[in-house]
Amino acid sequence: MMKRFILVIIMMISTLGVYSFTSNALDAKKTSYASYYHDKFNGRKTASGEIFDNSKFTAANRTLPFGTNVKVTNLRNGKEVIVRINDRGPYHSSRSLDMSKAAFDEIGDINRGTIPVEYEIVD
């Protein structure tokens, strides 16, 4: 009986430990580069089914769930913006986010194609 009780306690601790590790890994800040959508994509359907609008604060990411709000910080000037993930991409290995032109312009210079960013999931 005592062995069974100890085994249950060990299983509970292991489960909680794995859960806390994975949730912290998802919530961690990440650094990468961000780019912005070209105007030719305005009005086209995104992977989530929404119609893309370059004037809204949205972004594409390869793995984050649709609807996830992400705080993006420009590492050059410290400016921040919150975007909602509604598309998949970018498909360039050095970038993690494709942002709408409005969101990119809020924190960076659209005359530059990419900017170094730090991003994290927000509630």
Give the model confidence (pLDDT) of 104-116 as tens digits: 999 999 999 999 9
Whether 54 is covered by a domain: the verdict is yes
Whether 15 is covered by a domain: the verdict is no
- Determine the structural domain holding residue 72 and report its residue range: 29-121
- The amino acid at residue 54 is N
Q: What is the pTM of this model?
A: 0.77
In the block, tokens 């912005």 appear at: 36
Rounded Cα gap, residues 28 and 87, in angstroms: 21
Whether 16 is covered by a domain: the verdict is no
Q: What confidence score (pLDDT) does residue 20 get?
A: 46
Cβ proximity of 53 and 100 under 8 Å: yes
Phi–psi pair at 111, nearest 5 degrees: -75, -15
Beta strands 69-74 and 114-122 are antiparallel
CATH of residue 116's domain is 2.40.40.10
Whether 4 is covered by a domain: the verdict is no
Whether 53 is covered by a domain: the verdict is yes
Cα R_g (the chain), whole angstroms: 19
Q: What confidence score (pLDDT) does residue 98 get?
A: 97
Buried-state track 80-95, b at ≥16 Cβ within 10 A, e below 16 = ebebbbbbbbbeeeeb
Reply yes or no on whether the pLDDT at 73 is more than 70: yes
Reply yes or no on whether the pLDDT at 121 is more than 60: yes
Whether 49 is covered by a domain: the verdict is yes
Percent of the chain exceeding pLDDT 70 equals 85
Reply yes or no on whether the pLDDT at 16 is more than 90: no
Reply yes or no on whether the pLDDT at 8 is more than 90: no
Whether 93 is covered by a domain: the verdict is yes
Whether 21 is covered by a domain: the verdict is no
The number of domains in the chain is: 1
Instruction: Tell me which of 6 and 69 has the higher pLDDT.
Output: 69
Rounded Cα gap, residues 108 and 114, in angstroms: 9
